[in-house]
A and B are shown apart, each in its own frame.
Chain A
């Protein structure tokens, strides 16, 4: 039955996997621990060995001292990881929009294969695309780092570093603006709720409050109104929370909720939508316009989401390095 020393050496061995001198290293450590246990604890029993093992340090840290210290990505290139990923993802997102709008699949060999995507598939595809872009850029920077050459990577001088974007001057002023926005949004949300409670819709084709005429058919109007009210409520809640915290995770959460709600809106059937007769030939154009507009909103929110995630990631990198 293996004792604690064997288990300890086995753990170190695991972290040293791939090193040809592993057995020699383990023999050195074993010899030292047995020597120490006998010399300092007066015996070579399990208790003495346990003390010597504990004094030697955690297995992972011991193993790391034998490993080369070259980083996966050199510190000078770390900022390019986010710069290039953001750029690449922006291109990817644009191509996704084109694939959805034009209902075509296309290939930019060997970099991009964009299958014909529906709206939901596109929304599901974007996070995967981001991870793929991040992985691709990481791989390129990894090879540059491992080559050991001084490669000056291109980046325009006018490019603004995301982490160099300074917060608005005067926290008080920013808080007042947020509070004002929250009050306005609260009023708009309340008004929307009031309209919905009275008329089961918030979309009308006239401005007569005594006798409003709904724009959409009853079911469609109710569904779309509820989603829009949820979006208004989410925005209001975000602004209220931001009065108390400046955490970027609030923005991330808000963006995710908005994307989900836009996804729900995009998923609504557009047939028998309007409560008024619409000229038949205009109907496809209206549908296309509405989808395009919603997708554009989704794209801007996605870019905002990525921006916030990148800033959070960079801050973590700065803190850890």
Chain B
């Protein structure tokens, strides 16, 4: 996923995505790597990202291989901070990487 997300009604955008992720993680031996290049999320989108990360956490605790790669541009340190604040609440592998490195 990449870009900026600030819809008024984030549910419409994220509901399908969350359903897909949950269905994918619940089937067999799938591992999941999420590569995120997110410059900006409004608070309504942040709430749904939490749902996505919660699903990944549950899958991880059930022995699934999951990985988040949070990519940020050095020119936008707020993106790195946003990634770090998400990461704080989870124990699955969550990498925060500069695209400029």
Note whether A and B form a binding pair.
Answer: no
Residues of A at the B interface (CB closer than 8 Å) are none
Q: Which residues of B contact A (CB under 8 A)?
A: none
